[in-house]
Amino acid sequence: MKTSFADLCASRDWLLADGATGTNLFRAGLETGYPPELWNVEHPDRVTGLHSAFIDAGADILLTNSFGGTAHRLKLHQAETRVAELNEAAARLARAVADAADKPVLVAGSMGPTGELFEPLGALTPDEAEQAFAEQAIALAAGGADLLWIETMSSLEEIEAAVKGARHADLPVAATMTFDTAGRTMMGITPAAYADVAANLGLDAFGANCGIGPAELLDSIHGFVEHKAELLMVAKGNCGIPAYVDGEIHYHGTPELMADYAVLARDSGVKIIGGCCGTSPEHVKAMAHALRTTPPAGSATRQDVAAKLGEAWSNVPEKPTSEQAERRRRRRRG
């Protein structure tokens, strides 16, 4: 049941995006350090199984299993020549599941950071980055994506290059940044600064994803709101605050927590609500139920968020800990 991004947005007060990819694929047998993108051809049934579970839970938007799908990320696994193959496969898998659903479901082509620093801090040039993102975007479009979903960005240089690359595919574009360092990205960008840039990039939607926990994510959303941002907003928060357990990152947010977060996001003015790291189909199901059954309560304030989710940044150090640094190093979508 095909529809367009614009039409679905116009027909609904809110849309529910899916949850995590990585942590859910780990539960399905993906080994730490192995690129999830290779599973698009090695274990397509496990990828489609996750997509199906999210639709069954209530998701209206599926993100493709392609977060690390640029040549820069794939070269870490000697797969940099397989960008077209792996990204097109990712989109085809999500497209098949979406088309089989009994409701309109959009396929969003996930495009994450290259993992490289831009010059002069690093060697990557804007033109090189644009071409890398263009290669990925064209493949995602060929596989059937309805829109391109740039996510987890930290620098304005990279998000601008990603948007330029995405334009090569002629699809709607949504783009989110990650504000995980005392209300800024790790490159120092504030929500207000991103709102200004997003307004000039011609995006179809913008917002925040990942970061710390739901309270911190919504703190970033309120930064957009207070800056009078007019674009459609996206919120895709982590399932609770990440913690290290036996050397692994775990997310302990309950379905009830994510349900509260979803309603608060909607009442803060967010159009597209989803979950990031640690968010399972069970969490998405609770979010969908809460959004359907909880009447809007007016504009949610920062105080409303604190009352339900806790005070943002209250338990987060201003300087990254070694655990946060490791989480950033390993960060993948979910």
Q: Name the residue range of residue 150's domain.
A: 5-330
User: Average pLDDT of 214-219?
Assistant: 97
pLDDT tens digit sequence for 8-57 = 999 999 999 999 999 999 999 999 999 999 999 999 999 999 999 999 99
Report the domain count for the chain: 1
Asked if residues 228 and 168 have their Cβ atoms less than 8 Å apart, the reply is no
User: Average pLDDT of 275-297?
Assistant: 98
Asked if residues 41 and 19 have their Cβ atoms less than 8 Å apart, the reply is no
Residue 325: pLDDT over 70: no
315's tokens:
């338990």
Residues in the chain: 334
150-185: b (≥16 Cβ within 10 Å) or e: bbbbbbbbbbbbbbbbbbbbebbbbbbbbbbbebbb
CA dihedral 274, 278, 281, 286 (to 10 degrees): -60
Residue 322: pLDDT over 80: no
What is the model's pLDDT at position 159? 98
**DSSP class of 167:** G
In this prediction, residue 319 has a pLDDT band, given cuts at 50, 70 and 90, of very low
pLDDT top residue among 97 and 252: 97
Give the span between the Cα atoms of 20 and 26, in whole angstroms: 10
* Side-chain-side CA neighbours of residue 83 (13 Å): 23
**Cα angle at 216 between 174 and 159, to 5 degrees?**
30
What is the model's pLDDT at position 71? 99
What is the model's pLDDT at position 99? 98
Backbone angles phi, psi at 21, to 5 degrees: -100, -60
What is the model's pLDDT at position 90? 99
* Side-chain-side CA neighbours of residue 123 (13 Å): 1
DSSP for 179-239?
--BTTB-TT---HHHHHHHHHHHT-SEEEEEESS-HHHHHHHHHHHHHTT--SEEEEEE-S
User: Average pLDDT of 270-283?
Assistant: 98
CATH number for 321? 3.20.20.330
pLDDT top residue among 220 and 332: 220
The model's pTM is 0.94
